[in-house]
A and B are shown apart, each in its own frame.
Chain A
Amino acid sequence: MSMLRPRAEALAEPLPPLLARARHLAAGVVLGEHGRRRPGLGDAFWQFRPAQPGDPARAIDWRRSARSDQHFVQEKEWQAAQAVMFWVDRAASMQFTSAKGGETKAARAALIALASAVLLVNGGERVGLTDMDAPPMRGSLQLERIATALSAEASQDYGAPRTATLPRHSRAVFLSDFLGPLDPLEAALTTAADRGVGGALVQVLDPAEEAFPFDGRTVFHSVGGSLEYETRQAADLRPRYMDRLAARKARLADLARQTGWQYHLHHTSDPPTVALLWLYRALEGRI
């Protein structure tokens, strides 16, 4: 995992810094250094405007007003930073890869998450992991913390997102294969929606999970070994498996739509740039 950060940096290199869209202007007010090209709270000068009735007298910029007959109010540029929380599933099921020596789903998910985090930090946003107890923060040190946390593996077979640390009106990205029970996810999404947290679901799947290229008598077991299923004719199961997988995807997309999230399916056989680009646009709020 020591290569995760350099790889993520390399992956993020061609993209400009990412400014996560801040929807709830009044809330989530944490001053950031990044101007948002509109008047608001901040340190940098934005514009003078004629004073209007209702403006407090101390808001009038006397130095400017003295040069003319009108009163002017100095406005500052709004500088706010959005918080983006990542949940990267690191359960045993994510440690699976069908190709010998290929990239596991966990590695791919961590790569995409960290690359987005790099872009966000470059944009001055605060990032964090839902399973880190600390609040989202900015800076290179935070990236290092995230990279370290992403290299740890979870022991359970299928993961579930934690929502306790989600700040209000922040953004969230969940990366997982979503093959485990869906109830925890549903609960988490509902909670997030309640807190005004929008975000993106990125489902990372292995090509083998998509194609089911198995044959003959086979015992399938989950990576952690908690589940086992035996069949005598694996090939015979393929169409029914496909149906179930499609249903699972449809359910995820449905859940996302209901809670105002976005859903994306990514395969480890595809280049990670595809997912990163989608995520970039999703977080910018253009999708």
Chain B
Amino acid sequence: MFTLGPVGFTAPWLLLGLLALPVLWWLLRAVPPAPMRRAFPAVTLLLGLEDRDHDTDRTPWWLLLLRMLALAAMILGFAGPVLNPDTRAPGAGPLVVLLDDSWAAASDWRARIAAVTQALDGAQNAGRPVAVLRVSQPPAPGELPLRAAGDAAGALPGISPRPWTSSHEAALGWAQGLDTAVETLWLSDGLASEGRAALARVLAALGPVTVLEPPAPRYGLTPARIANGLVTLTALRSRPSAADAVTVIGYGPDPAGIERELVRAGLDFSAGAGSASIELSLPPELRNRITRFQIEDVRAAGAVTLADDSLRRRKVALVEASAGREALELLSPLYYLRKALAPTAEVLEGPLTDLIAAGPDVVILADVASLAPADADALQRWVAEGGLLLRFAGPRLAAADTGRGEDDPLLPVRLRVGGRTVGGAMSWGAPRRLAAFDEASPFYGLAIPDDVTVTSQVLAEPGPELAARTIAALADGTPLVTRKPLGDGQLVLVHTTANAEWSTLPLSGLFVQMLERLAVSTRAGSPDRDELAGTTWIPDQLIDGFGTLKDAGNRPGLSGEALAGPPGPNLRPGLYRSEARRIAVNVLGPEAELAPAAWPAGLSPEWTDERVERDLSGWLLLGALALLAFDLIASLALSGRLARAAGTTPALLALGMVLALPTPAPAQTEGGIDPAILSAADNVTLAYVITGDPSVDRVSLAGLKGLSDQIFMRSSVEPSAPVGLDLENAELAVYPLLYWPVIADQPAPSAKAYARLNGYLRAGGMILFDTRDADIAGFGSGVTPEGTRLRSLARPLDIPPLEPIPEDHVLTRTFYLLGDFPGRHAGHEVWVEAAPPDAERVEGMPFRNLNDGVTPVIIGGNDWAAAWAVDDSGQPMFPVGRGYAGERQREMAYRFGVNLVMYVLTGNYKSDQVHVPALLERLGQ
């Protein structure tokens, strides 16, 4: 390879082609561009004309330069230039690529794969066979699965790091069985491991070994611990050198259930220290929500630690029958519970209603026989929503009637009258001991101390489901703890007392363990093997090598004993669940340490990050192509062919327009009020709904204009010019009346527009629906397309029951006395809101007392707008009826319009006239 500075050439003899460039320059310069031949009949007129200059005789220098550059780029590109060439002598024989695929390799996995790819490329060029091996899965001893390098490179993307620490013992066993000479490339994760040095020595004996190890330290996070209400986080690093800092973030769901960053803390490694700790004081509400801590910007399973029950404090509400009794504190039913729960849970005490409002996880009733009905109901609801009610028996429960002969909703079983006492001074028999826990019991696996005895208990009424509800029993088979699900929660009754009065159970450690198993309390730190004995844990979420939490899917459950071991292929790190309890299996245990890898003498890890071999020929050839493309355009332009090329100019123009497209001007400032709304609010303005049919909209506008003119002339109402409204975005509130012509193919307004229309109607607006079809089929039959459309349009609207305008409706007399409401069509029914059924006509009054309820809608089909419509000169736009009768009908239509606007503006004011006779009569007296 011929090297020139940082660039090497694989085919340097091609560079001789550069010598030919000057010759080419001279040649190209000598030859003028080829002329274009055109047929042109008017050539007769050209004969005899002389060219004035000879500019294009020769190719311009810049075009020549362009071509030379393109040619030079091509020659250089084909000469195979390589930036930062790897000048090491290529090895021979098979190449073994050994990948440390523990979690520690995950943070720079991409760079590792890139390094392996480069090595494989080199091996492919040299034609060497390659074996890519993972430390976590070495082949059988002595086997060497060699493949072609390109083949092995294709399999690289499928390899991902494992979320646990793997030792090199298995790989050592493999290497010891190897007898062929191999060259080894070892991608080390940089952490100390058993067998690493031995493996290195064995491989070095087989051939040259190159160790690639990124110099950056590995970071890890040990499980968060909780002590005295403080959360302690400890981060580890593999190279305790200079002072350093990492940021740890706690993630968890926010109240809406969306995962968010909840805590962020900076950890400072002092120089020379391998670990850094911080104590966080977190509010319990926040702490209980945290699901995991993670070192920021480190994508590795070891940099994530999952939070489980040990970080959580349950709220336990303790309720006693009667507080202020005079007895020794040690005899209080709650004393032992307080002692057992105080270290691991938040204990709440107080009136039951307050406690339930505080949202506890568990409510413990110690010897409470009966509750107030309201309290009992609240408690029952709370349990059904997922609470755990734990009850202890006692003298009161034994004496009370609760659960006798019938099911008490807050007791898991029926109780027999009285109880029993064994082994006391006045009774025969020895105190009973506990029977071993059944496999179905949540207590299964707990060791029962010898000194736990029960002297008194309440007895459950035998029944078919008693055995299923018993989760702990005495040696003679009488139930000691019974349980029953209620809704999403459960009821648990311990048939003996919570104090030492009836049993020694509260004095033993078993009591605390039982509370833990019932998820009443939680324990700080991870549970040991004994505590987990007998339980089965189902993986809930698992961590992959990069520290990402993934749903576990359907995986078999693991026994509690297995859960206590270190994570590995059989115990994947993640979150495991058993009933209500959750345990996290983290990559790093609480005692974990990160130590840098130790290599035998003669082996030193290296890492070439910045000097990556890079093939430049592609870029050079691409540049040459681009130059040639530009040369093509320039040549065309020079010979006058470019401008003639059909379609070029429009395309260029379009491109220019796209580039020069101005950014849309900011819309109207938000604070400003639309002047149309201002003017409509200023004065009465009639409005119509824009239907989208231009002819209908034009008639609507003209009709309302004609009506406005008439109202202006006849009454003191002086409306402004009418406006058309787009229901989707217009402000309706300022318009007292909305004229809505219904056309058959009108699109329905959006749900938002309907919401605003309903708001408009409720706030006192009125809509005049006009089907304009002369109501030929009668309202409601829906035979005309407009009628059908009206029904579907008005369905989402808040419209009260309707009736045809009764004779005594206010609309008949708000301004004119009217009997009919014609438009272009006459004599058809117009519908308004129905009068209340109890409206009665008072004796001697002309009208019923219909004071209330101004109708929100008027529905008809008389095509009023057409009768009202006037053109710009004030003349009617459409003929109505025939002759004088027709003009009379138009007049009546105007009168209806005036009445309508008066009705809209004054409401039922005219209805008050019914009282006039009475008032006059009274005045007369």
Contacts and interface: CB of A to CB of B under 8 A. Distances in A.
Given A213-B644, A227-B47, A218 B52 contact: no
Interface string A216-232: 11111111000111111
B57 A222 contact: no
Interface stretch (B535-543, B634-642, B789-797): B634-642
A236 B640 CA distance: 12
Contacts of B646: 100
Given A216-B638, A237-B49, A229 B643 contact: no
B41 A93 contact: yes
B56 interface: yes
Contacts of B51: 231-233, 236-237
Given A213-B644, A215-B643, A217-B33, A231 B49 contact: yes
Nearest to A99: B646
B666 to A, nearest CB: 45
Nearest to A96: B41
A223 B640 contact: no
A221 B639 contact: no
Contact of B43 (A216, A217, A222, A245): A222
Nearest to B37: A219
A7 B55 CA distance: 49
B38 A96 contact: no
Interface string B53-85: 111110000000000000000000000000000
A56 B644 CA distance: 77
A209 B45 CA distance: 10
Contact of A217 (B44, B45, B56, B643): B56
Contacts of B54: 232
B44 A227 contact: yes
Contact of B640 (A179, A206, A216, A219): A216
Contacts of A180: 44
Contact of A209 (B36, B42, B52): B42
Contacts of B640: 214-218, 234-235
B35 interface: yes
Nearest to A213: B644
Contacts of A257: none
Q: Which of A180, A217, A218 has the most CB of B within 10 A?
A: A217
A218 B644 CA distance: 14
Contacts of A174: none
Contacts of B52: 233, 236
Interface in A105-128: 105
A231 B43 CA distance: 11
Contacts, number: 110
Contacts of B45: 179, 241, 244-245, 248
Contacts of B47: 227, 229
B608 to A, nearest CB: 56
A181 B640 CA distance: 30
A230 B44 CA distance: 12
Nearest to B643: A215
A158 interface: yes
Nearest to A232: B51
A75 interface: no
Contacts of A221: 37-40, 43
A240 interface: yes
A240 B44 CA distance: 13
Main SS at interface, chain A: mixed
A229 B638 CA distance: 20
A216 B41 contact: no
A216 B49 contact: no
Q: Which of B35, B47, B54 has the most CB of A within 10 A?
A: B35
A222 B55 contact: no
Given A232-B55, A233-B56, A179 B44 contact: yes
A223 B55 CA distance: 28
Interface string B15-45: 0000000000000000011111111111111
A219 B639 CA distance: 12
B641 A216 contact: yes
Interface in B626-659: 638-641, 643-644, 646
A228 B641 CA distance: 20
A221 B35 CA distance: 12
A35 B44 CA distance: 47
B42 A241 contact: yes
A231 to B, nearest CB: 6
A102 to B, nearest CB: 12
Contacts of A213: 644
A219 B640 CA distance: 13
Interface string A193-204: 000000000000
B42 A233 contact: no
Contacts of A214: 38, 40, 640
Contacts of B641: 216
B839 interface: no
A209 B55 contact: no
A240 B52 CA distance: 12
Contacts of B643: 215
B43 A229 contact: yes
Contacts of A245: 42, 45
Contacts of A240: 49
Nearest to A209: B42
Nearest to B40: A220
B36 A219 contact: yes
A97 B44 CA distance: 17
A237 B43 CA distance: 12
A236 B35 CA distance: 15
A236 B641 CA distance: 16
Given A222-B41, A232-B54, A217 B639 contact: yes
Contacts of A216: 36, 56, 638-641
B46 interface: yes
Given A233-B51, A235-B640, A240-B49, A217 B35 contact: yes
Nearest to B642: A215
Contacts of B35: 217-219, 230
Contact of A233 (B32, B37, B55): B55
A228 B43 contact: yes
A244 B33 CA distance: 29
Given A222-B44, A230-B35, 13 more contacts: A177-B41, A179-B42, A214-B38, A216-B638, A217-B32, A217-B33, A220-B43, A222-B39, A229-B46, A229-B47, A229-B49, A232-B53, A244-B45
20 contacts: A94-B41, A105-B41, A177-B42, A179-B44, A209-B42, A215-B640, A216-B638, A216-B640, A216-B641, A217-B33, A217-B34, A218-B38, A219-B37, A221-B39, A229-B46, A232-B51, A233-B51, A233-B53, A233-B55, A236-B53
